[in-house]
């Protein structure tokens, strides 16, 4: 099945061809016609399954058929949890917008950079991609109004409706017209399904793409049982011994992330950090370097666990386990994307073992666990 039968405008079909998207992914097959038909959608499909284009393409189609020039306020709002994701989603819009004859203007706004340029630019915007905090700031400064929003997207929906964001998102929702299209996309769905139902007022189309059978699971999971003080040497052993060229390492705190990076640098392994305490410029630069293969090891907090699309990332290492099985799933979802298999390695201290068992049980997988302490880590 090709994109042709989904009802997309010819201009978009042409752009898809140029981009090398020959076939819609399963979530796109179902989401695209539903979004074009202005239905509400709850789309659940695993990481890397193309959820972004699943809403970007039909939204742009709808602009093509109803020219954007008639609006003076944004009509589409996409809420995302991180600055990185805001930039990435805008990029996907930007990939397809030039092919249209009716070209909407898309802007991403998020914190960590000066608000002034965003205040200047936001006046002419049709599609606004935003993190909740910065959007509320802009609203408070009267730089933007949300009273013309006709389509709302919550990307990483469960995260956006989770405790950390709930209050901000609720404040934003209160400013939107009640008659609107709601599109919620996520790889995982929190326990709070009731709330999601409540939010999707209008007879939602629920699209749930089943996980592929394990035989074709592109992620090889592996665990090392290792004492806390040997995690550093083991990490360096895995990188050097395995000759890993592009590794994403997750740790739980900003402090820990910085510590790991320092140790790697001391051992002459090219590494850098991404966490919330770093400025936007630094974060962008580091992510860019990592994506382009110029940075060997990127160490990050869970900030980077969500939604970030990195092609052919061969290896993810959990230096510490995440708190929830859901976060584990998002973290390891950074590897093994787009048909290229990847490794997800967890360094598990004896204290973390029970927690790892809980994660495995929730995921319904059994991960092979090796003894890290038995390895000869001298010199690493
Ligand atoms: P998700 O949000 O589901 O985790 P993304 O939207 O970030 O996934 O897409 C993952 C990758 O798949 C991106 O690099 C994107 O360009 C690519 N992709 C999306 N749809 C298609 C398609 N139909 N054909 C080929 N590649 C696609
Ligand atoms: Mg995504």
- Reported as a single tens digit per residue, the pLDDT across 53-72 is 999 999 999 999 887 655 68
What are the domain boundaries of the chain?
3-209, 213-374
**Ligand 1: centre distance to CA 52 (Å):** 7
Same fold yes or no, 3-209 and 213-374: yes
- Which stretch of 74-88, 93-107, 152-166, 304-318 has the lowest confidence by average pLDDT? 304-318
Mean pLDDT of the region 28-37: 96
Which is the closest atom of ligand 1 to the Cα of 46? 3
Q: Residues 341-363: pLDDT tens digits?
A: 789 999 999 999 999 999 998 88
Which is the closest atom of ligand 1 to the Cα of 21? 24
In this structure, which topology does domain 213-374 adopt according to CATH? Rossmann fold (3.40.50)
pLDDT value of residue 131: 97
Spatial CA neighbour of 225 closest among 121, 339, 357, 343: 357
pLDDT of 36 > 70? The answer is: yes
Cβ-based neighbours of 376, under 8 Å, separated by 6 or more: none
Give the dihedral of Cα atoms 360, 365, 368, 371; nearest 10 deg.
Answer: 0
pLDDT value of residue 189: 76
pLDDT value of residue 237: 95
Spatial CA neighbour of 178 closest among 55, 40, 37, 35: 40
pLDDT of 50 > 90? The answer is: yes
* Helix H or strand E segment including 59: helix 51-65
Structure letter (DSSP) for residue 338: T
Selected residue with higher pLDDT from 341 and 92: 92
CA dist., res. 236 & res. 293, Å (int): 18
CA dist., res. 335 & res. 317, Å (int): 10
Q: Label residue 180 by pLDDT band (50, 70, 90).
A: very high
**Ligand 1: centre distance to CA 114 (Å):** 31
**CATH code of the domain made up of 3-209:** 3.40.50.300
Which residues have their alpha-adjacent CB atom under 5 A from ion ligand 2?
A: 51, 307
Spatial CA neighbour of 59 closest among 142, 149, 175: 149
Task: Choose which residue among 13, 52, 312, 313 to substitute to test ligand 1 binding: the one with the highest number of ligand atoms within 8 A of its C-beta.
Answer: 52
pLDDT value of residue 191: 62
**Ligand 1: centre distance to CA 132 (Å):** 24
pLDDT of 199 > 70? The answer is: no
CA dist., res. 116 & res. 260, Å (int): 35
pLDDT value of residue 193: 62
Which residue CA neighbors atom 23 of ligand 1 most closely? 24
DSSP labels, 127-140: EEEE-HHHHHHHHH
Task: Choose which residue among 53, 85, 184 to substitute to test ligand 1 binding: the one with the highest number of ligand atoms within 8 A of its C-beta.
Answer: 53
Which is the closest atom of ligand 1 to the Cα of 51? 3
Sheet holding 297-300, edge to edge: 271-274, 297-300, 247-250, 315-318, 342-348, 219-225, 368-371
Strand, helix or coil at 270? Answer: coil
CA pseudo-torsion sign 356, 357, 362, 368: positive
Q: Residues 77-88: pLDDT tens digits?
A: 999 999 999 999
**Ligand 1: centre distance to CA 305 (Å):** 16
Number of other CB atoms surrounding residue 20 within 10 Å:
6
**Ligand 2: centre distance to CA 378 (Å):** 41
**Ligand 1: centre distance to CA 164 (Å):** 27
CA dist., res. 68 & res. 45, Å (int): 30
pLDDT value of residue 164: 85
Taking phi first (over 0 means left), then psi (-120 to 50 degrees means alpha), and beta for anything else, what does residue 326 get?
Answer: alpha
Spatial CA neighbour of 328 closest among 293, 291, 285, 365: 365
Spatial CA neighbour of 219 closest among 111, 329, 359, 143: 329
Mean pLDDT of the region 43-50: 90
**What average pLDDT does the chain have?**
90
Which residue CA neighbors atom 12 of ligand 1 most closely? 50
**Ligand 1: centre distance to CA 9 (Å):** 20
CA dist., res. 32 & res. 59, Å (int): 9
- Give residue ranges with CB within 6 A of ligand 1: 21, 23-25, 28, 45, 47-53, 307, 309, 338
CA dist., res. 184 & res. 77, Å (int): 12
The percent of residues in the chain predicted with pLDDT above 90, rounded, is 68
Which is the closest atom of ligand 1 to the Cα of 24? 23
Calculate helix-pair angle for 10-19, 83-96, nearest 10 degrees.
110
Which is the closest atom of ligand 1 to the Cα of 22? 24
Calculate helix-pair angle for 83-96, 51-65, nearest 10 degrees.
50
Cβ-based neighbours of 28, under 8 Å, separated by 6 or more: 6, 50, 53, 54, 57
* CA separation, residue 159 to residues 125, 150, 165, 214 (Å): 26, 22, 7, 26
**Ligand 2: centre distance to CA 124 (Å):** 26
pLDDT value of residue 37: 95
Which is the closest atom of ligand 1 to the Cα of 311? 14
What is the DSSP pairing of strand 219-225 with strand 342-348?
parallel
CA dist., res. 225 & res. 357, Å (int): 12
Which is the closest atom of ligand 1 to the Cα of 47? 4
pLDDT of 190 > 70? The answer is: no
- How far from the centroid of its chain's Cα atoms is residue 305's Cα? 7
Mean pLDDT of the region 44-49: 89
Q: Residues 259-296: pLDDT tens digits?
A: 999 999 999 999 999 998 988 889 999 999 999 999 99
* Helix H or strand E segment including 208: strand 205-208
Q: Label residue 124 by pLDDT band (50, 70, 90).
A: confident
> What are φ and ψ of residue 132, in 5° steps?
-60, -45
pLDDT value of residue 215: 43
Q: Label residue 214 by pLDDT band (50, 70, 90).
A: very low
DSSP labels, 144-193: ---TT--EEEEETHHHHTSHHHHHHHHHHHTTS-SS-EEEEEESS--S-H
pLDDT of 216 > 60? The answer is: no
């Amino acid at each position: 099945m090709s994109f042709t039968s989904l009802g997309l405008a010819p201009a978009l079909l042409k752009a898809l061809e140029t981009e090398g998207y020959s076939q819609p992914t399963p979530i796109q097959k179902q989401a695209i016609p539903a979004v074009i038909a202005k239905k509400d959608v709850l789309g659940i499909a695993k990481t890397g399954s193309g959820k972004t284009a699943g809403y970007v393409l039909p939204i742009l189609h709808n602009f093509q058929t109803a020219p954007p020039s008639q609006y003076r306020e944004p009509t589409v709002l996409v809420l995302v949890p991180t600055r990185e994701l805001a930039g990435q989603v805008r990029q996907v819009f930007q990939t397809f917008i030039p092919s249209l004859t009716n070209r909407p203007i898309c802007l991403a706004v998020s914190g960590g950079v000066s608000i002034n340029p965003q205040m200047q630019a936001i006046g002419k915007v049709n599609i606004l991609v935003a993190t909740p905090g910065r959007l509320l700031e802009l609203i408070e400064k009267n730089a933007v109004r949300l009273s013309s929003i006709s389509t709302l997207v919550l990307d990483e929906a469960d995260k956006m409706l989770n405790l950390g964001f709930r209050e901000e998102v609720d404040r934003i929702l209160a400013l939107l017209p009640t008659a609107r299209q709601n599109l919620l996309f996520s790889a995982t769905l929190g326990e709070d399904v009731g709330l999601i139902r409540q939010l999707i007022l209008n007879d939602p189309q629920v699209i749930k793409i089943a996980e592929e059978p394990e035989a074709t699971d592109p992620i090889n999971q592996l665990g090392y049982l290792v004492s806390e003080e040997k995690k550093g040497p083991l990490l360096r052993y895995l990188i050097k011994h395995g000759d890993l060229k592009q590794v994403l390492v997750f740790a739980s705190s900003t402090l820990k992330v910085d510590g790991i990076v320092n140790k790697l640098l001391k051992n002459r392994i090219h590494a850098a950090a991404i966490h919330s305490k770093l400025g936007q410029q630094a974060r962008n630069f580091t992510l860019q370097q990592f994506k382009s293969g110029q940075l060997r090891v990127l160490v990050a907090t869970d900030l980077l666990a969500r939604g970030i699309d990195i092609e052919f990332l061969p290896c993810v290492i959990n230096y510490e386990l995440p708190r929830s099985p859901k976060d584990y799933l998002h973290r390891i979802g950074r590897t093994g994307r787009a048909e290229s298999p990847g490794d997800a390695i967890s360094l598990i201290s004896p204290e973390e073992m029970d927690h790892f068992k809980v994660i495995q049980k929730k995921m319904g997988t059994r991960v092979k666990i090796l003894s890290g302490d038995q390895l000869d880590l001298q010199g690493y």
